Amino acid sequence: MKKRKRSDRDQRFRAFPSVEQSALKEYEKLESRTRRVLSNTYQKLIQSVFLDDSIPSGIKYLINRLLALIEKPSLDPIYIGLFGSTGAGKSSLINAIIQQAMFLPVSGEGVCTSCIVQVSSGCCDQYEAKIHFLSDQEWKEELKNLTKLLHRTEELGSEEDAWDRDDAVEEALWKLQMIYGNGAESKNYEELLKAKPKGKIPTSKIITLKAEKAEELSVKLDPYIRAQRKGYNAESAGPQIWPLIKCVEVILPKSEVIPEGVVLVDIPGTGDFNSKRDEMWKKTIDKCSVIWVISDIERVSGGRAHEYLLNESIKASQRGFCKDIALVVTKTDKLQLPEYLRERKVGNQAIQSQREAVLERNETLKLQRSQILKEKLKRKLPADSKVLEASDLVHTVSAQEYWQQAFLTEEETEIPKLREYIRKRLLDKKRRMVTKYVTEAFGLLLLTDSFNSTDNLQNEYLHMSGLRRFVEEKIQLLEMTINQCFAHIEWPLQEGVKNAKSSYRQILSRCLVRSKGNQGFHQTLKAVCLKNGIYASRTLTRIDLNEAITQPIYDQIDPVFGGIFRSGKVTGSALMPHIDAFKHSLQEKMTDIGIRNGWKYDSCKKSFLIQEINAILGGLEEHVLRKKRRIYESLSNSVQNDLKSCYEEAAQITGKKACERMKDVIRRGVDRQVAEGMFERAQEQMQHQFQQLKSGITEKVKGSISTMLTLASSQGVGLYKELADVKSEYKEMEKLHRSLREVAENAVLRRGMQEFLLRMSPSKVSPLPSTQL
């Protein structure tokens, strides 16, 4: 059994080179042994209080903390979002990274990826996929909106209001025909409710597919994630139920290239007309810690799609967990050599081959786009943001050359470089997680063992009143500091509101005017109104009137907002560094009191308190990150709520000049709400959300630290009782804690040896000329 477990663990690390495998195995071993010690301690504590009528609160605290640590996930997945428009090469890139050619359907002339697809590796022996469907209620809501869009009034008059088959209508037709077949567009909502979809939908709303080989699962997956594009015959495509699918999860067995714990997410388009899928689209982006904006080489210069997606990615870093953004330029093997040589403006060296031209073009592109991207990020994010510290803001890749290697080597396609980035990010996260986990466990075992100690009892239950007063004063100071941090947003908010009030009409006009007049826009505008100001097309740029008219406010607050929620050095506006400073001041005070009052003879209490402060305040960062999305979106959400009645009124308009009448209703509704203080209400809503965050932080700190101090207080004689002996667990935990430094030193030593051997290796020579490849 032990050999099998060791073999399974080794299989999980196959994606890593030997040096990194060794480090991971040591961290895994540390974590596993720590969990075993915690489980043994927990069982002993439970047994010692099992028959008690009442359990002292101190013991309850310990039991709950032990259980929380035991049940804590080994490692939260790292989500890497591939964010790009249809045909940009996302699926091809994922196929190359996971070493499975044509595994996910590749967008071609007639097909594209239909939904969000998550790809990860696991410890399973088979290839597995889970298809998640919309609930009946979620589909009914979309069906009602689709039929409203397709409703054809008999009062249509002028040519500009005629049935013009714009994007919204085409998409509605497309979806209904895929589900119900040709002729579905002529049926009303009630008739379609009674109709049966062409494909079979399970009552569980989940389909699980399994296969021994990647090719087999790919064939099974195809009908669910490959969507026929508009204009292709729905009947000839066969049964397709992709409009009913929410998302797809794919799990690879024991991958040699993608480590367990990493999830690659194919995020197609700019959202979805279905509310649930659109919400999932946004939440998926927000939970990604890394976003790669994918754009092919022919659209990266001058194309608007990747610029929009890049802006969405920057917003995700403001409101979500994203800490790294990069532009990944795909299909870089495409180059017409005669044209390139004619237009070439850089370099003195003569170009001898296609390979040299591609590499030169790629390097030039990296320099140019990196500078543009860095400038854009600087305008939106704080100057010391971690995103700006990235060494590679732009990658130039070729999935086709990765497989064919007609003139580029595998390394030159940059696929291995992306894999290396993924591995390093996971290894670093694992190292930080295990270090924190072992240290936290050690603090708990220190205190648990001290419960049975009778030596220097009076010294152990020390004078805590001074520490309590100090903590109370520090919490008051923290509250004032948080107020000062959040005060930095007030002036930009006020200026942003002024700018929004002076520019909203021009912005609204740009959103409501099309170069071809109303032709091709009538039903799209209706779709916007049906969805409260938002229309998310699978193929065109997302329309969000609420976000557009609040953009002047976001332009003002973005750098400051990012500054408040950044980590790093203590500055005037940064929240987390001030919380870290608060933590260090408490720990220093505890050390000082401990030395003066006898903790130098038994440091258990001091170590426990210091470790618990780490645990309590360390958990605040995730709480803050979860709340910041609600704060950031409060502006556009407040505006959307104020304009809801206006959108509903506009959505009901039919007949002659319907498009112009809808625009008039929207304009008048926005004017009325602005006059009544719409932007000021949005400002107040954001400030209220900030105050709620402040209250949440201080309440969590007060409650947790108060409980912790009570546990260590001399007042709590009733908190202590004779417990089962945990000295053996304590000694084991002490060894594990000491091992942390040894593991870290071993990792540094191995990495240094590897780098030395690579430098000295005679095989490290320049790539072969293209004629020899």
CA torsion, ordered 491, 492, 495, 501, to nearest 10 deg: -130
Which range, of 321-325, 427-431, 463-467, averages the lowest pLDDT?
A: 463-467
What is the three-state SS of 372-407?
A: HHHHHHHHHCCCCCHHHHCCCCEEECCHHHHHHCCC
Which range, of 176-190, 444-458, 566-580, averages the lowest pLDDT?
A: 444-458
CB 602 within 8 A of CB 455: yes
Strand partners, 251: 120, 128
* Amino acid 725: pLDDT: 80
pTM of this structure: 0.87
3-state secondary structure of 337: helix
In terms of DSSP bridges, do strands 127-133 and 245-253 run parallel, antiparallel, or are they unpaired? antiparallel
Among 25-34, 371-380, 652-661, name the most confident range: 25-34
CB 93 within 8 A of CB 258: no
Confidence at 758, pLDDT banded by 50, 70, 90: low
The rounded distance, in Å, linking the Cα atoms of 362 and 348 is 16
pLDDT digits (tens, 9 = 90+) for 552-569: 999 999 989 988 888 766
* Amino acid 457: pLDDT: 44
In this prediction, residues 538-547 reach a mean pLDDT of: 83
Confidence at 650, pLDDT banded by 50, 70, 90: very high
Which range, of 112-116, 192-196, 523-527, averages the lowest pLDDT?
A: 112-116
The rounded distance, in Å, linking the Cα atoms of 153 and 143 is 18
In this prediction, residues 730-750 reach a mean pLDDT of: 83
Q: What is the DSSP string of 660-704?
A: HHHHHHHHHHHHHHHHTTHHHHHHHHHHHHHHHHHHHHHHHHHHH
Q: Which of 213, 216, 225 is nearest to 253 (CA)?
A: 213
Is 90 exceeded by the pLDDT of residue 740? Answer: no
The rounded distance, in Å, linking the Cα atoms of 565 and 562 is 5
Among 152-161, 227-236, 243-252, 571-580, name the most confident range: 243-252
